């Protein structure tokens, strides 16, 4: 029997609430693929789940993880489009941070030759979230204006690249000042999230008209101000709530303050201003055909050189607490991964 390691969140709390434990690989069920995992991505959603603030939240203890790459290790009945030994990437609803994972066949995609497993594991959540917002929901056009919060993060760098690929030239992105070089390298206007007023800058630099798309993973009062940035017909996408977790410790009081500052959207006001708000959570997205189409498009973009996943750092699975702290401290530029098996880079 094959054995390995899996990440476990034992309870709601700080980084001490996440650990690893031994595991046995189980046989894949019907329409399932067992994957020997090389890399699994960590997202801010994993941190929020650990703190107990993200929904849906599986009952504790559970294994987090929305994305992974690796090698097909075994096939369940009904799987015919894959072979044992094939290199793949998978998008999971949860449970991806483990040495061996049984994934639904419809969420597993074979990788082209030469496609890095590290970059593959960096793709499903960040690029699919960004693509889903800008293209599937937003119908992005070259003459659109875009504001991206957290522009140097995983989804942020993916969104910047997608804007470049689409020929969008009017893009603003917020980050700490030390990360401005990353944003400017993608041709966007960097805004210091700590010392500059993004709303005033957007109004000034668009002659008061605003932008067509705002990507907001922060929530709280930031979300209210993002809504004020929208132009007529503009769309606001909310896909995170980092404002409820300003540190690695669980603070219900700080979370409550952030929730109270989060705007309550008034349907009549949205109608009168011709604005829209989308909530996005790819982990709960159930239309597999749309997901497959978007993943195929993203792989095409990487193969053609238009998209290039930014991998900031790879931690061994046993160092998952250190990885969570690293993200809490906002040190990452791009994606943070966990390594489970040394297969290739």
Could you tell me where in the chain the CATH 3.40.50.720 domains are found? Answer: 127-283
Per-residue pLDDT at 274: 84
Beta strand 230-238 pairing with 211-216: parallel
pLDDT in tens, 73-107: 999 999 999 999 999 999 898 999 999 999 999 88
pLDDT under 70 in the chain at which residues? 242-263, 344-345
User: Residues spanned by CATH 3.90.180.10 within the chain?
Assistant: 3-123+309-339
- 127 burial level (CB within 10 Å; 0-12, 13-18, 19+): buried
Indicate the angle between helix axes 252-261 and 220-228, nearest 10 degrees. Answer: 20
pTM assigned to the model: 0.87
Determine the pLDDT at residue 270.
77
Q: Which pLDDT belongs to residue 39?
A: 98
CATH of domain 3-123+309-339: 3.90.180.10
Whole-angstrom distance, CA of residue 203 vs CA of residue 312: 33
The CATH number corresponding to 127-283 among 3.40.720.10, 3.40.50.720, 3.50.50.60, 3.40.920.10 equals 3.40.50.720
Give the pLDDT score at 42.
95
pLDDT at 288: 81
Upper half-sphere CA count for residue 333 (Cβ side, 13 Å) = 12
């Amino acid at each position: 029997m094959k054995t390995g390691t899996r990440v476990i969140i034992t309870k709601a709390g700080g980084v001490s609430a996440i650990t690893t434990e031994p595991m046995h690989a189980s046989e894949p069920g019907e329409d399932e693929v067992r994957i020997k995992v090389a890399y699994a991505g960590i997202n801010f959603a994993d941190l929020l789940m650990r703190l107990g603030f993200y929904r849906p939240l599986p009952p504790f203890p559970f294994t987090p993880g929305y994305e992974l790459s690796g090698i097909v290790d075994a096939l369940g009945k009904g799987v015919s489009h894959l072979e044992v030994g094939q290199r793949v990437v998978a998008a999971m609803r949860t449970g991806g941070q483990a040495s061996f994972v049984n994934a639904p066949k419809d969420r597993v995609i074979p990788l082209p030759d030469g496609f890095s497993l590290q970059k593959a594991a960096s793709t499903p959540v960040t690029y699919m979230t960004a693509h889903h917002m800008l293209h599937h929901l937003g119908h992005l056009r070259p003459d659109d204006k875009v504001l991206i919060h957290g522009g140097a993060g995983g989804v942020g760098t993916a969104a910047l690249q997608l804007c470049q690929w689409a020929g969008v030239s009017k893009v603003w992105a917020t980050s700490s000042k030390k990360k401005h070089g990353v944003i400017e390298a993608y041709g966007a206007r960097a805004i210091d999230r700590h010392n500059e007023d993004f709303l005033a800058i957007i109004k000034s630099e668009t002659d008061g008209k605003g932008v067509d798309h705002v990507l907001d993973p922060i929530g709280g009062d930031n979300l209210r101000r993002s809504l004020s940035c929208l132009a007529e017909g503009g769309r606001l996408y909310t896909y995170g709530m980092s404002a409820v977790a300003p540190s690695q410790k669980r603070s219900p009081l700080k979370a409550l303050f952030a929730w109270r500052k989060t705007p309550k959207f008034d349907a009549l006001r949205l109608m009168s201003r011709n604005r829209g708000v989308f909530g996005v959570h790819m982990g709960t997205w159930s239309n597999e055909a749309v997901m497959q189409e978007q993943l195929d498009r993203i792989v095409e973009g990487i193969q053609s050189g238009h998209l290039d996943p930014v991998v900031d750092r790879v931690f061994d699975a046993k160092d998952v607490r250190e990885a969570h702290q690293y993200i809490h401290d906002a040190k990452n530029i791009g994606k943070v991964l966990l390594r489970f098996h040394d297969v290739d880079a």
